[in-house]
Amino acid sequence: MKEILMGIGTAGLKPSGNPDVLLLYFPTEFPAHFIFTKNRIKSGSVEYSQKALEESGGYVRAILINSGNANCMAGDTVGTAEEIASYISKMFDIRREYVLIFSTGIIGEPLPVERVTKAVDDACKILEPLDLKRASEVISTTDSFPKYDFVKYDRLEVFGFAKGAGMIHPNMATMLAFIFTNADMDPGYIKELTKRVGDVTFNSITVDGCMSTNDSFGIISSGDIRADNKRLEDAVTEVAERLAKKIVEDGEGATKVIKVVVKGAKDDLMAKDMAERVAVSQLVKTAVHGCDPNWGRIISALGTSPYEFDPKRVEIRIGDIILYKGEPVYNRKDARGYMMANKEILIEVNLNMGNAMWIYYSSDLTCDYVRLNSEYTT
């Protein structure tokens, strides 16, 4: 496998003074694709990287990620990202569009270019093989644990790291996730795959329903081996799903992970819409926190969907305990026992209309969430 190198620097962007600049360097152009936040308010780093990826035709040689500052809503943030990318492109003598920039942290404060480029200098002094755990730590903001994962099937390797804990602490928001594989892919295929995998993983999680200005997820291929497409997609999805779930687990103040499965829908769009409505409902999230098997709140959340369904055909289970099947089934006590005994709570809805299914992860809504997000910013 072609080596992925990393270097670490400190630009003093985190209040803790911990390392906050991560540089990734690849020996050749690696095919890559990223999907970015759909928020209209975007970090200059996001805007720059989106454009660079287009200009390079989907190839990358170096990635710089800074933590502690979002490079967003503070003057010419695209220019700032360009300056840093230019610096790195000169340093390695590579084209600027082969350098991507990602940022996460506070909004509205200018990113100090000179401090970042100095940290890049330091990072380059010791380039070592990618350490997933360390990489996650450097790019973390309010995360309470590092997020990384990997799978290996015969010669196929997929691994990645991420940061994110809900859009929490005053704008110290953002989900960033990077997945690597030694499977050979062309830029066209990697683009499709990123969209498809992102849709069922990072775009199917919610902590507080808020969308950050910097969210990014990408797949990067070091292109060594040929892999079966189906198998590759499964492996990438597996790693992405695990990383996404870790972000939910680390959701601000969360004590439980909620897995919402909607099946029997007419198509994927319908399944996703309904799963999302249950997953984001504050009433469902507080009910789970209180171990209350409140199927009324679940079906009421389903009812807000624009998709038509027949309540008489709906089945609702919590764990494997049926609570509603066209009419109420009185299993509250068992369901409550299941909810008290488990940290991951399964809410399963069967619409009995078709074959489409969607899984959405969420976390419970707690007092700690409110407390942490009510604290004064500065």
Instruction: Rule CB under 8 A: choose which of 93, 125, 327, 341 binds its own copies.
Output: 327
- Catalytic pick among 10, 37, 142, 174: 174
Residue with tokens 């990997």: 150
Instruction: For 109-168, give the secondary structure using H, E and C.
Output: CCCCHHHHHHHHHHHHHCCEECCHHHHHHHHCCCCCCCEEEEEEECCEEEEEEEECCCCC
* Cβ closest to its own copies, residue 22 vs residue 257: 257
Q: Is 38 in the site for its own copies (CB under 8 A)?
A: yes
Q: Is 374 in the site for its own copies (CB under 8 A)?
A: yes
Binding string, residues 214-253; x marks residues near its own copies by CB under 8 A: ----------------------------------------
CA atoms within 13 A on the CB side of 249: 13
Structure tokens at 201: 């993983």
Structure tokens at 281: 């409902």
Q: Is 303 in the site for its own copies (CB under 8 A)?
A: yes
> Please, what is the angle between helix 77-92 and helix 44-56, to 10°?
50
Is 174 among the residues known to form the active site? yes
Separation between Cα atoms, residue 53 and residue 166, nearest integer Å: 27
Q: Is 212 in the site for its own copies (CB under 8 A)?
A: yes
* Cβ closest to its own copies, residue 27 vs residue 108: 108
Q: Is 125 in the site for its own copies (CB under 8 A)?
A: no
Nearest approach, Cβ of 285 to its own copies (angstroms)? 9
Q: Is 352 in the site for its own copies (CB under 8 A)?
A: no
Q: Catalogue the active-site residues.
A: 174
Which residues bind to its own copies, rule: CB under 8 A? 38-42, 73-75, 106-108, 167, 170-171, 173, 208-213, 281-283, 286-287, 289-292, 294-297, 299-305, 308-309, 311, 327-328, 332, 336, 365-367, 369-371, 373-378
